[in-house]
Structure 1
Amino acid sequence: MHVPDGFLDAPTSIATGLIAAGAVGVSLRRASAEIRETGPALAGLTAAFVFAVQMVNFPVGAGTSGHLLGGALAAALVGPWTGVLVMSVVLLVQGLFFADGGLTALGTNITLMGVVSVLVGYVVTRSLLAVLPKRVGSVVPAAAVGALLAVPASALAFTGLYAAGGAVAIPMGKLAGAMVGWHLLIGLGEAAITAAVLSAVVATRPDLVYVARHLQPELVLIDADGNSSTVTADKPIAVNAGPRPLGIALAVTLLVAGGVSLFASAHPDGLEFVGESLGFGSSAQDSAVAGSPLADYGVSGIGNERVSGALAGIIGVLLTIGVGLAVAKLSSLRTAVRSDRAAKSEVNV
């Protein structure tokens, strides 16, 4: 659902840019508590994994494809505030280096996929966990439903933005029906991917799943050296992922980006398909970085398409990890500076 330049007019794009900037700013302040529990590495790897899986378009039907948005998954793994940062990092890397989504539409894409999908996915997940049995196994179905609903919610949000400042006049009823209808189908794929990933993590390391950490009165954690410790649900859990789980996660991410992505569907995604069907697809403009060496997920100068695509995916994963780590550390640094100032103020008083 990457919105290109040209779909929305300048005032709407500016407005979504301000919304996105505000959301990222608030998230930088609020994510520090989440990052403090897990460390920045998990946030960086989550961003890289979402980037990798977004490269894998899956067929939906009638010549349409979809791909993971990832907001609900990110929120379930690392928390809602860090989830917004994770999605923003993914979209920034895609927009700047791969010409995926317009630069003037970056705020729109962050608003839709980095704010709406995270918010809806997280709220639905937590709401379901409040009524489901209080056990870690409830995380998978709750997050799957959150992921399912987050996709059409983002599609409906796009419809609202298009109604406010769309480039081509089209019946809003038709746009809403097409966007929500196709993205409900895409949401089924989103739910399946989210459930599969969380099932694997919950089965081995439930302490690495943000929404699972406080579901049990007591949770026994085992560190990389085999030492166990028991934590209670009434206080934050400091998670030590250890090098082995992080290494496995990185290997899987590189495999998806450098291998599985080569078998992605070539059909247009839901938004592109709807744009072509309803007549506003031609308003799309090339990104300002369309000439990037990594544009369209290939490396310029490499003739073999598969090698080019695989290498671009691997480079994208490494770039996303680097930017994700930097943003996570920035969030932690902001908190440390505020804490230091508060301590000095107390001393002075």
Structure 2
Amino acid sequence: MHIPDGFLDAKTWVATTVVGAGALSYSLKKVREEFNERLIPVMGVLAAFIFAAQMINFPIAGGTSGHLLGATLATVLLGPWCSGLIISTVLIIQCLFFNDGGLTALGANILNMAFIGSLVAYGVYKLVSGKSRFEQAAIFLAAWSSVIAAALVATVELALSGTVPFHVALAAMLSWHFLIGIGEGLITVVVVSYVRGVGLKPTWQQKKA
């Protein structure tokens, strides 16, 4: 899902950079408003785990790559805006120091994975967990949906840029990410269950945010 340099045209990468920067600025504001220094170690551990998970890439047609996302894990535990900040930090480090994702495409990658992934995860999780007692099912569906949503938006960006026909990118991206989403859902359920088992309750749920 990391888009490299040269795969987005100017209008697309400029637009996504502006929107991604705006989302990042807003997330910083929201995290400052709800800042709790006890969360710093948790954020650090989550960022390290997600960083490692995202470094395992699967090549996909159209010049992109697929990997675990981690947005649902961070969203369920810390809320969508904190998740957006964590994923953005991971993506920036990967881009600048590991050449994973292009510099001109950084805004698009942040928008797709950090914010669309986190907000879709938040919406699905709230919807399903609010109407069902099946908490683990809600987490699984949120994780799967976040991966599919981010992949779909990346597909649209590539098609708008003329990099690859939409139907070709759509078939490649969604078929791979359908499977990646299942793996992400299972991993997220296991990790969230473990974290809750050691006594960490999601901060945004405590505040009813």
TM-score over 0.5 for the alignment? yes
Q: Name the structure 2 match of 1:185.
A: 179
2:195 is the alignment partner of 1:201: yes
* Corresponding letter in the other structure for 1:11: K
* Corresponding letter in the other structure for 1:91: L
Q: Name the structure 2 match of 1:160.
A: 156
Structure with bigger helix share is 2
Alignment of 1:283-298 (within 5 A): none
Structure 2: runs of 5 or more not aligned: 60-64
Specify the SS of the correspondent of 1:31. Answer: helix
Moved segments of 4+, more than 3 Å: 56-59
Of the three residues 175, 189, 193, the one matched with 2:169 is 175
Alignment of 1:12-91 (within 5 A): 12-36=12-36, 38-57=38-57, 66-91=66-91
2: CA distance, partners of 1:12 / 1:146: 27
Specify the SS of the correspondent of 2:35. Answer: helix
2: CA distance, partners of 1:156 / 1:33: 32
- Higher-Rg structure is 1
**Contact 1:76-1:122 within 8 A present in 2 as well:** yes
Q: CA deviation at 1:38?
A: 4.2
Residue-by-residue CA offset, 1:272-322 (whole Å, 9 max, x unaligned): xxxxxxxxxxxxxxxxxxxxxxxxxxxxxxxxxxxxxxxxxxxxxxxxxxx
Q: Name the structure 1 match of 2:139.
A: 143
* Corresponding letter in the other structure for 2:146: A
TM-score normalised to structure 1 length: 0.54
2: CA distance, partners of 1:162 / 1:28: 28
Residue-by-residue CA offset, 1:139-158 (whole Å, 9 max, x unaligned): 43211110011111111101
Structure 1: runs of 5 or more not aligned: 60-64, 215-234, 237-349
Q: CA deviation at 1:93?
A: 0.6
The structure-2 alpha-carbon separation of the partners of 1:75 and 1:185, relative to structure 1 and needing over 3 Å to count, comes to same
Specify the SS of the correspondent of 1:81. Answer: helix
Q: CA deviation at 1:175?
A: 2.1
Q: CA deviation at 1:189?
A: 0.9
* Corresponding letter in the other structure for 2:161: G
2: CA distance, partners of 1:99 / 1:15: 22
2: CA distance, partners of 1:71 / 1:148: 10
**Contact 1:34-1:78 within 8 A present in 2 as well:** no
RMSD over aligned Cα atoms: 2.3
The count of aligned residue pairs is 204
2:102 is the alignment partner of 1:102: yes
2: CA distance, partners of 1:35 / 1:52: 25
TM-score normalised to structure 2 length: 0.88
